[in-house]
Amino acid sequence: MKKIIVSLIILIAIIFMVLINKNNLLKNFYPIKYSEYVQKYCKEYNVDENLIFACIKAESNFKEKAESKKGAKGLMQLMPTTAEELAKELSITINNENIFEPNINIQLGTKYISKLISKYSNIELALTAYNAGSGKVDSWISDGILKNDGSDIENIPFKETNNYVRKILNDYKIYKELYGKEGKWNEYKRSNGKFYK
């Protein structure tokens, strides 16, 4: 009986410690690595830092040399053609090596997210386009599969994209709760949908 009581006390103490340190434990799973680049480019392109951290987590889990089977590269898993278009727009020279550099990859990925948010005026469709491409999203909207306000992401026809968007939105919420920063997206909402770059 004494062993049971001691075990219960230890278990209660462990639960109490976990509850107190929940945020610290979660921060191990939701890090803010490369924050100097994320902060710099989120400020420059008017994007919420928490959203970019959530994207990096989902895309590469903060592995800068990540490369997908389809050829997406780096922390933000940029397809080479998309990266080249963005680099040209920003007057950056990229190649197969430097596309993996966090500074360049985060700049290009954040710029792309910013462009997609400006185009669709909501995060849900911007993330859908980041994964499936703008052409697909535009056709889904014109075919009535998705609403142009992003309120029906459960209708995204590609399972991978559907799961992807849900994961990032969930991670985005967790990042905001953990780090307590109110990002640029909240400023967008407060400005009655006017997005300023």
59 is catalytic: yes
Distance CA 60, CA 11 (A): 36
- Residue for token pair 């989120």: 42
- Residue for token pair 């407060």: 190
Across 82-119, b (16+ Cβ under 10 Å) vs e yields ebbebbeeeeeebeeeebbebebbbbbbbbbbbbbbee
Cβ-in-10-Å burial (0-12, 13-18, 19+) of 64 comes to: middle
Q: Which residue from 14, 17, 25 is spatially nearest to 174, judged by alpha carbons?
A: 25
Residue among 44, 49, 59, 187 flagged as catalytic: 59
Tell me which H or E stretch contains 66: none
Distance CA 106, CA 190 (A): 26
Q: Name the residues annotated as catalytic.
A: 59
